[in-house]
Structure 1
Amino acid sequence: GDMGEAWLTDHTAGAGPYVLKEWSRKISVVLVANENYWQGAPKIKTIIIQDIPEPTDQLLRLKKGDIDIAWNLTAEQANSLKGSPDISIVTTPGQSDEYVGMNAGWGPFKDVRVRQAVKYAIDYDAIIDKVMSGFAINNQQFLPVGYFGYVENNPYSQNIEKAKELMAEAGYADGFDVELVTNTTERRRTEAVVVQENLAKIGIRAEINVMQASQMYAKFREQGLQMIIAGWGVDYPDADALAHPFANHRVKQLAWRCVWYDDYAADLAEA
């Protein structure tokens, strides 16, 4: 209830391997080993988590030896550390998705064949290599690796001829114009350029419109975008946290914003 949430604003409650010792807002958190942890006290007795929001600052402090672990470095920064004798780079599949969203209620995208053509037009490997510097995987589903229900299956790869055939079948052999919206981050802008170049190969003339994130998402929530490049993170590590946004239009999140009203998919998400 509200009282419980208010209490947790300045207190902790849990049975994990560490106990909160100190908390300085926007500065640091100090955790100490829970000697009563049910799996035994952890070997590392103290963990200090510092609030260093800028990846560049994290990188500098890591190189100087002021911190032991830097988290959320950019791909370029991580690659710059390769070969460093005193630093190890550890990677693991993440829990966030980069996606291209199409408004299934707008113009040419009403035809599923056009939406499929877009999927065949995109060079996924190029995005991973050029935009993500190799720190990403091709995962054509909403579930991250390791989640319940995850199946390793990527049915789409770049096939320009197949994409052109689908465009012709749908009556768009000469292509069409579309507004491709993304936000101001460098990665998303670069990603948009790659997608724009890919779409041009099948006659889709995408005009990139870079917006502030708040403006972009406000318009997206009103079903006001034709095409979008954005990302989605996981609220909690369970398939349910992603099935509803991506597949259930009734909750008015991603599926609804893209005007994808598939009742069968929604029923499966609610099952």
Structure 2
Amino acid sequence: MRIGTFLKSASLVALLACAGTPALAETPPDQLIVGVSLVNMLSLDPSAMSGRESTEVNSNIYDSLLETDPVEKGVFHPRLASSWEVNDARDTITFKLRDDVKFHSGNPLSAKDFVWSVTRAFALGIGGSNIRVFGYNEKNIAEMITAPDDHTVVVRLPKASDPDLILGVIAGSGIGMVIDSKLAMEHEKNGDFGQAWLTTNSAGSGPFKLVRWQANDTVVLQRVDDHWSGPAKMRRIIYRHMPESQSQRLALQRDDIDIAMGMSVADVKALQTDEKLATAEVPSGNVYYLAVSMKDEKFKDQRVRLALRHLIDYEGINETILPFYGKLHQRPLSPGLPGSLPDPGYKLDAAFAKEQLAAAGYPNGFKTTIRVLADSPFVNVATAIQASLAQGGITAEIITGNGDQTYGAMRDRKFEMVVGRGGDRNGSHPYTSLLSLVYNPNNTDEAKLYTLQAWRTSFQSKEINELLDAALIEPDAEKQRASYEKIQTLYEELVPSIQVISQSYDTVVYQADLKNYIAHPYQTTRYRNLEKDR
């Protein structure tokens, strides 16, 4: 970080802190300061947001009907909904909402706001892809999700499914965050349902409200003192844009920040001996991967994809680049879940890769591009893969960018190669773990199945789709497990468009005197109960 930028951010902290608190001193006891790269925060519209930073910020601004437990997978807790019930046929979920909730604007929150928030995403075509796979679409969403009165929401399932999976989407995704429809529509322009305004403003009912967002600089959240669930412990949450790991390390040691996210391996190791600091290893269902677009003529050829599979130094990447952020893994199903299989043991083998490329008509390799986030460890992984691809004669130009430039190209299906991280964020169910990486029911551009990595990369297997659909509703656990195993075996044989490199997890470094801090594996870390023991 440049000195000017550092001093500018430090001055902001001083300005927002209690009177008399020096800029370069212990953070105020009633303010939480988080050091993180904000380069991928492009929108705070819950339906349009991308990236974990936006998800975390919005998880403190907006409320959902229910929340996922940060420790126990598959456990949900009441939030806006005081209760919910699944009918005997398991095709309808009825939520009963609290009657004492108000938005930050003072407008009362009702079931109709939830319905409006969900249907708005479909109307704009900017979200909801993680619920589309369960059969919801623009034509049926209005009849599938309804509000018979101000405090009742009825969610019907368009096709046979596990209701718990729908609960997970409502609890842990942007489409489940309830927007103040009246306030948003006051800022509507040209039929955008307030989208332009919501990009940089908020209309929530959460324990904090947005008071400032300066792109690639600072996000400031202010406590809502009269919040329906009681005031949060912290008066403010301040996110400081700190893309350089060394700047985060220095700030932690000087007590200028309370939490640091996305630090380098070397800096995390260096801070582990500091008794004033603690580290949290946060599990994730996401994986690091190399993805190719099968719309590209080169990558349509299975032999080319097989060559790529053997032009990755899996062990080297996991041992030198991904400590604290990933563990060697090569399957689409997260380890430890029912049906998970041992790794197939792929290794870097340039000679074999060259044979495959020659057979495919590329004896001298070819030129291509790799899109990747400019942040660590992504760009480091891409650089390592660039070097190993060269051993097979493939010249790859690295194109760095923010989340929209990198994953946006994937969502538009206009890319060659991407080094990224994705999949099922919570990794709590084998179906959703596989769904995110192997399932593609509609391979047209118009389908807009953005959260499905197979769709993004134009990979489609009718047999895999049918196996996964059947596994979801299979009552026999052993048969279900066998189906998940068969899917992985078939996926390997087809040499898919996505090669898994590592199972993702996050390491967060924070001041040891933070109480009730639980880094959430679903990127929805909430700070309403956090306080400082100082």
TM-score, normalised to structure 2, is 0.40
Among 440, 459, 464, the residue aligned to 1:249: 440
1-structure distance, mates of 2:262, 2:408? 28
Structure 2 counterparts to residues 154-233 of structure 1, below 5 A: 154-233=344-423
Cα–Cα, structure 1 residues 110 and 213, in superposed 2: closer, same or farther, change >3 Å?
same
CA distance in structure 1 between the partners assigned to 2:252 and 2:78 by the alignment: 25
- The residue number in structure 2 matching 1:94 is 284
Q: CA 1:135–1:15 in structure 2 vs 1: closer, same or farther (change >3 Å)? A: closer
- Name which of 244, 258, 269 aligns with 2:457: 258
User: Secondary structure at 1:267's aligned position in 2?
Assistant: helix
- Residues in 1 aligned to 2:327 and 2:69: alpha-carbon distance in whole angstroms: 31
What does 1:81-120 correspond to in 2, within 5 Å? Answer: 81-85=271-275, 89=279, 91=281, 93-120=283-310
Report if the CA contact (8 A) 1:94-1:144 is conserved: no
RMSD, matched Cα? 3.7
**Higher RCO (CA < 8 A, seq sep 6+):** 2
Number of residue equivalences: 247
What is the rounded CA distance, in whole Å, between the counterparts of 2:420 and 2:292 in structure 1?
11
Bigger radius of gyration, 1 or 2? 2
- Letter matched to residue 178 of structure 1: T
- The separation in 2 between residues aligned to 1:257 and 1:127, in whole angstroms, is 24
**What is the CA distance between 1:242 and its match in structure 2?**
2.8
Q: CA deviation at 1:83?
A: 3.2
Q: Cα offset for 1:258?
A: 1.1
The corresponding residue for 2:334 is 144
Q: Contact (CA 8 Å) 1:100, 1:227: kept in 2 or not?
A: yes
Among the aligned pairs, what percent are the same residue?
Answer: 23
> Shift in Å at residue 77 of structure 1?
3.0
| C-alpha separation in 2, matches of 1:161 and 1:101 | 22
**1:164-215 superposed Cα distances (whole Å, 9 cap, x missing partner):** 2222222222111112112222422222111111100001111112233213
Compared CA separation, residues 150 and 126, structure 1 to 2 (3 A): same
Q: Distance in 2 between matches of 1:216 and 1:16?
A: 31
Give the structure with the higher percent strand: 2
Bigger mean CA deviation after superposition, 107-116 or 89-98: 89-98
Q: What CA distance in whole angstroms lies between the structure 1 residues aligned with 2:389 and 2:69?
A: 49
Query: How big is the shift at 1:140?
Result: 0.8
TM-score, L = length of structure 1 = 0.73
Against the structure 1 CA distance between its residues 15 and 171, is the aligned structure 2 distance closer, same or farther, given a 3 Å change threshold?
A: closer
Task: Tell me if the contact between 1:183 and 1:211 (Cα under 8 Å) persists in the aligned partners.
Answer: yes
> Which of 253, 257, 267 lines up with 2:466 in the alignment?
267
Alpha-carbon spacing, 1:184–1:89, altered in 2? closer, same or farther (3 Å) = closer
Counterpart residue identity of residue 315, structure 2: D
What is the identity, as a one-letter code, of the residue corresponding to 2:464?
A
Residue 131 of structure 1, aligned match among 302, 310, 321: 321
What CA distance in whole angstroms lies between the structure 1 residues aligned with 2:370 and 2:64? Answer: 45
CA distance in 2, matches of 1:105, 1:15: 37
CA contact (8 A) 1:101 1:258 kept: yes
Deviation at 1:141, TM superposition (A): 1.6
Deviations along 1:47-82, one digit per CA (max 9) or x if unpaired, are 98x856458798668657899x95745233321123
Which residue type is aligned with residue 148 of structure 1? P
